[in-house]
Structure formats: structure tokens, C-alpha cells
Amino acid sequence: MQDTHDRRADEAPEAQDGGGVPPRTLRRVLVAAGLGHFVEWFDFGIYGTLAVILAHNFFPSGNEQAELLSTFAVFGAGFVMRPLGGLFFGSLGDRIGRQRTLALVVLTTSAATLAMGLLPTHASVGVLAPVLLVLARLVQGFAAGGESAGATTLLAEYAPDDRRGRVTSWIDATGFAAFVAGSGLVLLLTAALSESSMDDWGWRVPFLLAAPLGIAGVYLRTRLEDSPEFRRLKESGHTAGSPLKESLATARTAMLFCIGFMLIKAVGHWALQTFMPGYLQTTLDFDRVPAFAITTAGLFVVAVLVPFMGSLSDRYGRRPLMIGGCLGFVLLSWPAFWLMSQGHAVLACLAMILLGVFMAAFDGASSAALAELFPTRVRYGAMAVAYNIATALFGGMTPYFATWLVSATDYDLSPAFYLMVIALVSAITLLRARETARTRLTP
């Protein structure tokens, strides 16, 4: 990781100790940023959780595997837009501020998600149904490109230097809490409704929740002040006029490190949240209810452990936690998939929890590590572009590629090798990185 530079001694007191933010203000920022992030990833992730049901409604073909591949292709299409969204919202956030940009991100995503819940199905309008689904997913992906980098930037710039890992890990914790809520809601609906009712109208309920959740997220984010770091930069007149151009000129190495770090984060997130429910049902022959229960348990473990891992990264450094998470995936992904393949729900749940522990170790440290790579002038935009390139190229296609691997190799455990290779690449990148824990952010 890059060296950071000490701030000038004559800086305003507010800028010292990570901004000198009162605890009450920091708590308010955590709630507003966290709820907005929860809304964003509940909206974005619910598509993947419902992939099997959406496949029947929008891509009916009589071939379950082909239907699922079509649904995952649309899932991946949303990620194609994420680098563009990162470029747009990241540059906007470096010019007009983090808080206003993040409010716009939540509003856009919630509108697209609500539209998904109102779409007609293939049975009603034929081929127009998947076309409309793709359009809504593209808008969702465009907006999502500005969320993670922006929320991480906001919290990193509010956090004390010695607690930045713990504070920024709140973003990943609320993101996985959103996945748990989405998976848990689908589990509840699946258990309460008949299969025909769930296929006919029950799947719409999580999408329709986007409206009230989005209103709450936008309200809280518009009531925030921007980060002390950005306000000080703006008052001094030193905000970047062309953030992308400046990022490419001054932060190319940091952006490449960011892409390398993010490979396992991107692939791991969407393997656990999106690929697993369909994999358990269509490949390993679990029924819907246990499949959603197993997935929910694994995601819950990540959400609970991430803040703890963030605190450990403040104490022991970012690299040990992130490298440990990568090595866990390299060494134990295949045994975890083998446990799942035994057909016992308890064993499959333990395997999901094991993978969740490795994901939590990486996520707890990674958000702070990424923020510490970049200077304040271009932090939002540079991180958004690099992060979303990794996510678009690898994360978005993970469910599709992993499903295709099973079909192409006729080997049910083949997705484990994909996780192992990606984790190894991220581990090698981290071995070449410098430790940045407890350093001050570069102005």
C-alpha cells in the first residue's frame, strides 16, 4: 500500500485525529451511512437471492439450468454498468461532496428495484418482460457503482485514525446484514406461501419494499454533513477539477492494487449471496427452504464477524487479516464444497459458515485498507473506478461462470477451484502491499 504523509502542523484542530468528530456525530454518521448501504445492497442483492424463481417467470424454457444461466446473465449485466456508475458518481462525489452523491445513489437504486417488482412476466408480455428486466438491472448497476466506494470514503474520512478499520467495517457489516434480511425474507415467504403463490406474486414483495426503504435511506443521508476531510478541502478551494484525470496521473499504482485486492471480495460476496441459493437447489438438490436457510446462516455469520475483524485490523494491521482470509479460501474452499455435496443441511450450513468466516476476515480490514490507498482529492472517484472494474470483470459474472463450470465439467465441486484461484491472486497482490493501519489519510 502507498505511504501516507503527515498533515501539516498548522491544520485546523477539527482535522486532527481522523477529524476530531464527537462520538454523537460519528454515531449519527454510522446510522445514516449504514442504513443507506443496507438499502442499496438489499435492493441490489435480492435479485440474486430470487434467481431461481425469476428464471421461471422471465426466461421459461423447460430447462432449469438454461433458465438459471439466463437469469445470472442478466445479473451480470448489471455489473457491466458499475464502472460507468463509479466513474460518474465517483467524480461527482469528489467535486460536489460525498453526502449529496450518496443520497442520489440510494434514490436511483430504489427506483429501479421498485420497477422490478412491478414488471410484467414472460407469460403476460412475452419477450418484452426480460428486456424490461435487463433495463431495470442496468440502472441498478449504474447506481450501485457509486455506493460502496462512496460510503467507505465517507466513513473513513469521519473515523479516528486508530479506529478506521472498525468504523469502515460497518459498511460491510450492514451490506451483509442486507443480504441476510433479503435471504431471510425470501425464506419466510417461501415457508409461508405455497410454491405456486411464491412463483405468481410472492417474489414481488422484496422488490416492492424498495420504496419505503429508499425513502428512509435518502432522508437520513440528506440530513448528514459532509466529511470533515472533504469540507476542509472544499473550503481551501483544493477540490479536484477533473478527478478521473488526476487519479490516472497520480494514483495508477494504488488503483491497480485496489483491483487486485478486490478480486476475492467481489467473487466471494456474489458466490455466497447469489450463486449459493441456486447451486444448493439445482445442483445439490436441496429443497427451497433449507437452501435459503443455509445461505442465510452463512451471510449472518459474515455480518456479525465483520466489525470484530475490523477492530482486529486496527490492532494487528490490515494485511494479516486480508491475507488470512485469502489463504482460508485457497486451502478450504474445496473441503467446504465437498461438505455441501454430502446432502445434509447441517453439514452444508457448517460449510457456508466456514466460508463466511474467511469472507469476514477479509472484509473487516479491506474497506479501511482501500480508503488509505488514496488522497482525499480523488479518493471517492479513484476507488469507485478501480473497485467496480474488479467487480464488473469478476464479481458480476461469478454466478454465471460458476454455474457454467458445473455444467461444462460435469463436476459439482468445480466452483471451489474458481474461488481458490481468485483468492490466490489477491493474496499475491497483498504480499506486495504495504501496511497502512493507524496512518493518517493523505489530504
**What pLDDT is attached to residue 2?**
42
**What pLDDT is attached to residue 321?**
96
Spatial CB neighbours of 395, under 8 Å, sequence gap ≥ 6: 79, 265, 266, 267, 269, 270
| Largest CA-CA distance found in the chain, in angstroms, rounded | 70
Assigned domain for 15 exists: no
Q: How many helices (H) and strands (E) does the chain have?
A: 23, 0
Q: How far is CA 172 from the centre of its chain?
A: 7
Cell of 175: 451490506
Assigned domain for 394 exists: yes
Query: For the chain, which residues score pLDDT lower than 70?
Result: 1-20, 62-63, 240, 443
**What pLDDT is attached to residue 20?**
65
Quickly list DSSP for 180-193.
Answer: HHHHHHHHHHHHHS
Assigned domain for 8 exists: no
Assigned domain for 440 exists: no
Assigned domain for 17 exists: no
**What pLDDT is attached to residue 243?**
75
Quickly list DSSP for 366-393.
Answer: HHHHHHTTS-GGGHHHHHHHHHHHHIII
Q: How far is CA 165 from the centre of its chain?
A: 17
How far is Cα 340 from Cα 355, in angstroms, rounded to an integer? 12
**What pLDDT is attached to residue 18?**
42
| Contact criterion met (CB below 8 Å) for 382 and 255 | yes
**What pLDDT is attached to residue 15?**
36
How far is Cα 119 from Cα 132, in angstroms, rounded to an integer? 7
Assigned domain for 439 exists: no
**What pLDDT is attached to residue 16?**
39
**What pLDDT is attached to residue 63?**
67
Assigned domain for 73 exists: yes
For 317-358, write each residue's pLDDT tens digit.
Answer: 999 999 999 999 999 999 999 999 999 999 999 999 999 999
- Residue 58 maps to which CATH number? 1.20.1250.20
Number of structural domains found in the chain = 1
**What pLDDT is attached to residue 47?**
85
The whole domain housing 266 covers 22-431
Assigned domain for 9 exists: no
